[in-house]
Amino acid sequence: MVAKWEAFAACDETERRFYFLSRDAATEHRRLIRTVLAAENGDSEMSGLIISVSGLRGVIGESLTPDVAVRYVTAFANHLHAAKGAGEPRPRIIVGRDGRSSGVLLQRAVVASLEASGCDCSIADVAATPTIGVLVRDLAADGAIQITASHNPPPYNGMKLFSLTGRVIGAAAGGAIKQAFERGESSWVSVDELGSARMLEDPHLPHLQAVL
């Protein structure tokens, strides 16, 4: 095992990702790859789930399941509720995704979790990550969740969290959300407090207007 670790650590990033996708890669090799990449990114890893202060990513059906997504989203929703003052409207959150096939499944889980946590969702569906940030500012939302695993291989997916500034959440807020997720904290609302969800007609327009 030590020899395998040393050989893998000596590979460049392209070789590592090819190794991950090779058909004969065993489960232990996949865990090894996730551990090394997480360490290099300064992330923590919990049973194959890679968590940073601004989001998480994992392998669909292994470390990233609908249950994991629900717990992480509700931790984010609780954070947004806590930031609201008495009498203020409930949090409004933008939800988008990249083109990965697993994104449809995760988007359903994310939206349902936000509604059950008493948040209103505006769904951008497939949109670039910078577009989500523009939408947060344009619609005066309280935050956003972009479902994406960035440059990671197809088996992966993840979630990136945005603050009301349209940027990824800061280290302090992200750390608090991460801790709440790891403690399994969640808070479901009663039926008369459930949130809502709507599809945005043209989620790309504000970004186009900003750059043209």
Active site residues: 150
Phi-psi region of 206 (alpha: psi -120 to 50; beta: other; left: phi over 0): alpha
Per-residue DSSP letters for 70-116? HHHHHHHHHHHHHTSPTTPPPPEEEEEE-S-TTHHHHHHHHHHHHHH
CB 166 within 8 A of CB 194: no
Q: Assign 59 to helix, strand or coil.
A: strand
Please list the residues that pair with 50 across neighbouring strands: 45, 57
* Nearest partner of 160 among 33, 1, 51, 25, judged by Cα: 51
